[in-house]
A and B are shown apart, each in its own frame.
Chain A
Amino acid sequence: MISKRSVDIVSSYVVKIVLIITIIFLFFPVIISITFAFDPRNFPTFPPIGFTLKWFENFFRMRTFIEGLKWSLIIAVTASGISICIAIPTSFAITRNEFNGKNILLAAFQSPLIVPGVVAGVAFLTFFRGFLNIYSALTNLLIAHTILTFPYTLRTIGAAIAGLDRTLEEAAYSLGMTRWEVIRTLLGYIRSSILAGAFLALGRAMGETVAVAMVVGNTLTFPRSLFDIGYTIPSLIANQFPTAEAYSYMMPALYGGALILFIAGLIINLAGLYWIRRVMVKS
C-alpha cells in the first residue's frame, strides 16, 4: 500500500503543476500574440523566424488605426471621468439613505456587469437611434461606455464611503458644516478609492468590444464614411477581421493593434490594483 505521506508529496506537486499549466494557459495567448506582432512573415506561425517592427510602422501609417487608438483613449478617459462624476453622488445617496426599492436600484446598478455586451449593444442600438435620435457615433460611444463602466466606479467608491468612520462625519457636523461641506470634506478621505475606481473603469472602457462594435457599425443608417468617427481599437479588430486575410498587411497590423491594446490594458489594470492595494493597507 502506498503511504499517505507519498500521496501527500505527489498531490502537492500535482497542484503546483496545475497552477503552472494555468499560468501558461492564460499567458500563452499574450506571448503568442506578441511574437506575431514582431514576425516578419505575412501569415506568421509559431515559433517566429525573425524580428521586425514594420507592422507597427504599418499600424501607425494607417490613418484609420491612429484614429482608432486616439478615440479609444479619448472615449475611455472621458467616459471614466463622467462615470466617476455620477458615481460619487450616487454612492453618497445610496449609502447614506434607506428607502424603498434600494435593493432593486442596487441590482440595476450592478446589471451592466451581468448583462452580456452583445445584449447591451442591441439595446444601445435602438435606444440611441430610435429613442434618443442620436446619430453621432461619438456621443453614443460616450454614453455606452459610461453605462458599462458605471458598476466599477460605483462599487469601489460605494465601498469606500461605507467604510468611512461615521465619527468623522459627526465631528464635521458638530463644527457647523453644511451637508455639502461635509461631503466635500469626506471626498478627501476617499481619494485613493476614487482613483482606483477610475482605473478599473478605464480598463473596462478600453477593452469593451462587442457593444462598441455594434454601436459604431449600425444597421439603420448607412455609415457616412467607411471609417466613421469613433472607432476604437477593439471594434476595429472585430470589424476588420473578417476581411483581413484579403490584405497582406492587415493581419499583422491587427496584431500590432492588439499588442498596443494589451500594453494599455496591462498598465491600466496594474495601476488599478496598486491603488486598491493602497486603500486596503490603509484601512
Chain B
Amino acid sequence: LRLNRRKIIDKIMLGIISILAIASAIPIFAILVNVYSEGAKYITLNFLIDLPPPPIGDGGGGIGPALVGSLILVLLALVIAGVIGFFTGLYLSEFSHTKLAQYAQMFLQIMVEFPTIIIGLFAYMVLVAPLKRFNAMAGAIALSIVIIPYIALNVREAYKSIPYTLKEAAFSLGVSAPVAYLRILLNAARHGVLTALLVGIARAAGETAPLLLTILGTTFTYFGGLDQPINAIPLLIYNFALSPYEKWHQVAWGAAAVLLTIILAIFVISRLIVREVKT
C-alpha cells in the first residue's frame, strides 16, 4: 500500500509539473503573435515615412518623425556609451585584479537591472530643467547611461574569452599595451565586441521610461536640432496606445510591430555572430 501511495503522488506531481511547464510558454507566444497579427497589416513604406495622422479623419499617416528620432537617439547613445563602455569593459577584463575594477564591476552589475525611470528623472533635472526645454541630447545621455553597463559587461566577456596564450603572444611581440589591446587582441575579440554593441543598440531602441521625462515627443517635425524636442518609436507607442483615438491605436500597433522587427533582427544577427565564433 505504501508503495502505491508513493506512485500515485509521483504521477500527480509529474502531471502538475508538465501542466505548469506548458502553461508558462503560452503568454509569451501570445505577446509575439498578438503584436504581429494586430500590427503587421499597417506597415507600408509610407507608414515608415509619413507624419502621424490626425486623430480623426481619413489618411493613413505614419511614424516618420519617431523613426528618424529613434535613429538619432540610438546613434548618439551608442557613440557615448560605446566609447565609455568599451574602455570600461577592457579595464574590467584585463585589470580584474585591481580593487577599482572589482568595485566598478559590482556597480555595473547593479546598474544593469536598475529602474530606468530614475535615470530619466536625473536627466530631466540636469539637462531639461536648466535649459527649460525638453531636448534630444537629454534623451540620448539618459539612454547611454542605461546601456553602458550592458556594453561594458559584454566587452569584458569578449576580452576574457581570448585564450591566455594569445595574450602572451601579443605582448611578446614587444608592442605597447594600447597596440596589443586595441589592434591585436581587439581583432580576436571583435565578434564579442560587436555583439556587445548590438545588445546596446537593441536595448536603447526599446527603452521608454527615460524618454518619457526627457524628449517630450514631436508630431510635425522630423529633426530640429539636439536642443529641441524629438520623438522616438517607444514613446510614440506609449502615447498613442494610451490615447482615446482608434486611429492612433492602429499606428501604435504598427509601430510596435516595426520596433519588434528591428529588435528581433538585431538579436538574430548577434546570434549568428556568436555562432560563427563557435564553429
Q: Is B7 at the interface (CB under 8 A from chain A)?
A: yes
Q: Which of these, A15, A46, A115, A131, contacts B91 with CB under 8 Å? A: A15
Find chain A residues with CB under 8 A from B175 CB.
Answer: 4
Q: Is the CB of B17 within 8 A of A123?
A: no
A241–B32 CA distance with the chains assembled, in angstroms: 30
Whether, in the assembled complex, B88 has its beta carbon less than 8 Å from a beta carbon of chain A, the answer is yes
Smallest CB gap from B122: residue in A: A29
A33 and B210 CA atoms in complex are apart in Å by 14
Does A214 lie at the interface of the complex (its beta carbon under 8 Å from any beta carbon of B)?
A: yes
Q: Is A22's CB under 8 angstroms from B84's CB?
A: yes
Contact of B118 among A33, A93, A183, A200 (CB under 8 A): A33
- List B contacts of A180 (CB < 8 A): 9-10, 13-14
Contacts of A238 in B (CB 8 A): 117, 209, 212
Residue of B nearest to A7 (CB): B176
Known A-B contacts A108-B29, A116-B234, A234-B115; the reply to A26 vs B35 at CB < 8 A is no
Q: Please determine whether B30 and A127 come into contact, CB atoms closer than 8 angstroms.
A: yes
C-alpha gap A78/B90 in the complex (Å): 39
Q: Are B104 and A23 in contact (CB under 8 A)?
A: yes
A69 proximal to B (CB < 8 A): no
A143 adjacent to chain B (CB < 8 Å): yes
| A217 close to chain B: CB less than 8 A | yes
Contacts of A261 in B (CB 8 A): 115, 117-118
The smallest beta-carbon distance between A22 and chain B, in angstroms, is: 5
* Chain A positions within 8 Å of B91 at CB level: 15-16, 18-19
CB-CB < 8 A to A126: which residues of B?
34, 38
Is A11 a contact partner of B208 (Cβ separation < 8 A)?
no
Tell me if B177 counts as interface (CB < 8 A to partner A).
yes
Binary contact track A13-47/B, C-beta < 8 Å → 1, others 0: 00110111111011111101100100000011110
Which applies to chain A's interface (DSSP): helix, strand, loop or mixed?
helix
Q: Is B27 positioned at the interface, with any CB of A under 8 Å from its CB? A: yes
Q: Are B88 and A120 in contact (CB under 8 A)?
A: no
Question: Is the CB of B260 closer than 8 A to any CB of chain A?
Answer: yes
Is B119 among interface residues, defined by CB-CB distance under 8 A? yes
Indicate whether A122 sits within 8 Å of B256 (C-beta atoms), given known contacts A26-B107, A234-B117.
Answer: yes
Residues of B within 8 A of A208 (CB): 115
For A26, the chain B residues whose CB sits under 8 A away are 107-108, 111, 145, 148-149
Contact A118–B31 (Cβ < 8 Å): no
B28 in contact with A111 (CB, 8 Å): yes
Residues on B with beta carbons closer than 8 Å to the beta carbon of A18: 83-84, 87-88, 91
B residues less than 8 Å from A94 (CB atoms): 21
Asked if A81 is at the interface (CB within 8 A of a chain B CB), the reply is: no
Interface residues of B in 227-244 (CB under 8 A from A): 234, 237-238, 241-244
Known: A89-B20, A273-B109. Is A219-B122 also a contact (CB below 8 A)?
no
Residues of A within 8 A of B47 (CB): none
Complex partner residue of A119 from B21, B176, B177, B256, CB under 8 angstroms: B256
Structural contact, A32 and B122, CB atoms closer than 8 A:
yes
> How many positions in chain B have a CB within 8 Å of any CB in the partner chain?
86
Q: Tell me the interface secondary structure of chain B in the complex.
A: helix
Whether A258 is near chain B, meaning CB under 8 Å from some CB there, is yes
User: Is there contact, CB below 8 Å, between B10 and A181?
Assistant: yes
B residues less than 8 Å from A143 (CB atoms): 27
Q: Does A194 contact B (CB under 8 A)?
A: no
B126 and chain A: residue at smallest CB distance: A32
A203 on interface, CB distance cutoff 8 Å: yes
- A15-B87, A121-B241 are contacts. A258–B118 as well, Cβ < 8 Å? yes
Q: In the complex the two chains form, is A200's CB within 8 Å of B113's CB?
A: yes
Cα-based distance from A143 to B27 in the complex (angstroms): 9
Q: Given A30-B118, A209-B115, A22 and B148 touching (CB < 8 A)?
A: yes
Name the distance in Å between B43's Cβ and chain A's nearest Cβ: 14
Q: Are B119 and A118 interface neighbours, CB within 8 A?
A: no
| Chain B: minimal CB distance from A152 (Å) | 8
Q: B152: CB under 8 A from chain A?
A: yes
- 5 A-B pairs whose Cβ atoms sit less than 8 Å apart in the complex: A26-B111, A117-B206, A123-B31, A203-B113, A269-B109
| Residues on A facing B (Cβ under 8 Å) | 4-5, 7-8, 11-12, 15-16, 18-23, 25-30, 32-33, 36, 43-46, 85-87, 89-90, 92-94, 105, 108-109, 111-112, 114-127, 131, 143, 147, 150, 178-181, 183, 200, 203-204, 206-210, 213-214, 217-219, 234, 237-238, 241, 254-255, 258, 261-262, 265-266, 269-270, 273
